Amino acid sequence: MSKLYQDLCQLVPVEHVSISENDIDVHRIDKWYASADPDVVVFAQTTEQVAAVMCYANKHEVPVYTRGAGVGYVGGCVPVRGGIALSVAQMNKILEVNTGDGVAVVQPGVITGHLQEAAREKGWYYPPDPASLKECSIGGNIATNAGGPRCLKYGVTKQYVLGLEVVTATGEIMRVGGRCHKNKTGFDLTTLMCGSEGMLGIVTEGTLRIIPHPETRAMLGASFIDFSAAAAAVQAILDAGILPSALEITDAFTLAAARDYLGEENLPPGDAYLMVEIDGRVGSVKSELEGLKMLLEDLGALRINEAADEAACEQIWQLRRDFSYSLKHTGLTKLNEDIVVPRSKLVDLVNFARQLQQDTGISVACFGHAGDGNIHTNLMVEDYSDPVIKAKADAAVDKLFTWVLEHDGAITGEHGVGLAKKPWIKQALGPVSYAMHQQIKTALDPKGILNPGKFLDE
């Protein structure tokens, strides 16, 4: 029994402190590839326990790695310097869904999909919809400022965080923001905590904005002769004054994989596929869908599938999910890079991806949120644990990120920096911004115990 374990058992009921092999194993990794053992796992049950752990950790300079559902894609919660893996997964209560105030108050371990369902039961809506919403948690969503397809119309996680309870690096309990829908009281510490990847504080409660649920939604799935035609349609839809709730694009490589997996006959023709979702009142959605269909026909769509209600939409979304499965079905490992480009550079990106594929021999599949330029660019590699293959893949990712940064893009739109994007963070931020990151980090976490070894450490 280490001293750390024994000390923590004084602060947190012993049944919530673990050094079991199984718990260590689970907490050494997220959905990315890096892994490292924590010395101890703490399953916090209350804010006060988190505060007690942080007081102790700060005093003794013990690294603390906060973890929600552990489904991050960049190794953000991996305890690279050992210490404490602080799980908030069991702080998973929806404390309140209050339609009168338009807020939901939740603990960080609440699964995002559960919150959506709880709001929906009352006719209200929590829009942020990361693809992993059935397994990811609100705490992780806040830590990475998670996005999703519907963020095009509705905005990302930070736009729904009205207030937070945060335990600071020194173990104090802080409330920022609150349950008001507007708040200009001081600096925007609420949003600073959003996306801070466990490096500035530990979120122990969130007060989230919910909005009236749109009465219905509808979708069109349209195939085009090539990616350029589909990208042109994206811009034409927006230029027509339409802001869809989602606008998803898929490239030729992904479609080919889907044809292979689902059968040629189950996929539309063409080398690009566009999904457009709209929502609103029943009558409005019906008439708008008609107009949108005509617009897509004018834009040269080869075939259009129409989903006139929510159940039918689900089928088109299933196709979207099947694209992911199709890529997995190739037997290759999918390195999913959530890059973003200015929307006018969608075609340039896909052309670059084709060139990258030619130059490196690594297949590249592009699909994602076309409306906001956030295209998941998937490098399909063989065994990533093979050092030779890994080196080749990493070199290809480097080429991709270099191109993205040279074209005013961002190396991460949704997943965060974590370990995966750490090698590029200085280049991405530039020296002045990087220095300001350091200044803020040092001011708020003077001993550097919150998630050390990530993008602000050498």
Coil vs helix vs strand at 247: strand
Residue owning tokens 């998670």: 146
Residue owning tokens 């602080």: 86
DSSP string, 384-423: TTSHHHHHHHHHHHHHHHHHHHHTT-BS-SSS--TTTTGG
Contacts with its own copies in 31-50 (CB under 8 A)?
none
Contacts with its own copies in 95-114 (CB under 8 A)?
98-103
CA-CA-CA-CA torsion sign (366, 368, 374, 376): negative
H helices of 46-188, where?
Answer: 47-60, 112-121, 138-144, 151-154
CB of 18 vs its own copies, minimal distance in Å: 30
Task: Return the residue of 341, 350, 356, 420 that touches its own copies, per CB under 8 A.
Answer: 341
30: contact with its own copies by CB under 8 A: no
What are the percentages of helix, strand and coil residues in the chain, rounded to 5?
A: 40, 20, 35
Q: What does the alpha-carbon distance between residue 153 and residue 278 come to, in Å, rounded to a whole number?
A: 9
135: contact with its own copies by CB under 8 A: no
Task: Return the residue of 15, 22, 241, 406 that touches its own copies, per CB under 8 A.
Answer: 241
406: contact with its own copies by CB under 8 A: no
Element (H, E) at 278: strand 272-280
Contacts with its own copies in 262-291 (CB under 8 A)?
280-281, 283-284, 287-288, 291
Contacts with its own copies in 179-198 (CB under 8 A)?
179-189, 191-192, 194-196
202: left (phi over 0), alpha (psi -120 to 50) or beta: beta
Is residue 249 within 8 A of residue 313, CB to CB? The reply is no
Q: What does the alpha-carbon distance between residue 425 and residue 148 come to, in Å, rounded to a whole number?
A: 23
Q: What does the alpha-carbon distance between residue 139 and residue 132 come to, in Å, rounded to a whole number?
A: 13
Candidates 28-36, 85-93, 145-153, 317-325 — which segment interacts with its own copies by CB under 8 A?
A: 145-153
Comparing CB distances to its own copies, the nearer of 100 and 387 is 100
24: contact with its own copies by CB under 8 A: no
242: contact with its own copies by CB under 8 A: yes
Comparing CB distances to its own copies, the nearer of 19 and 192 is 192
254: contact with its own copies by CB under 8 A: no
348: contact with its own copies by CB under 8 A: no
Contacts with its own copies in 291-320 (CB under 8 A)?
291
Candidates 152-160, 218-226, 251-259, 310-318 — which segment interacts with its own copies by CB under 8 A?
A: 152-160
Question: Could you tell me how many residues of this chain bind its own copies (CB under 8 A)?
Answer: 97
CB of 46 vs its own copies, minimal distance in Å: 17
For residue 88, the Cα-to-chain-centroid distance in whole angstroms is 18
Comparing CB distances to its own copies, the nearer of 310 and 322 is 310
Q: Within the chain, what is the greatest distance between any pair of CA atoms? A: 71
Candidates 89-97, 104-112, 238-246, 247-255 — which segment interacts with its own copies by CB under 8 A?
A: 238-246
CB of 9 vs its own copies, minimal distance in Å: 27
402: contact with its own copies by CB under 8 A: no
211: contact with its own copies by CB under 8 A: yes
Comparing CB distances to its own copies, the nearer of 11 and 180 is 180
Contacts with its own copies in 426-455 (CB under 8 A)?
428-430, 432-434, 436-437, 439-440, 442-444, 455
Contacts with its own copies in 155-174 (CB under 8 A)?
155-156, 158-159, 168, 172-174
CB of 103 vs its own copies, minimal distance in Å: 7
Q: What does the alpha-carbon distance between residue 394 and residue 411 come to, in Å, rounded to a whole number?
A: 14
Calculate ∠ Cα 206-127-410, nearest 5°: 90
91: contact with its own copies by CB under 8 A: no
Question: Amino acid identity, residue 121?
Answer: E
Residues 6+ apart with CB under 8 A from 326: 254, 257, 258, 260, 261, 262
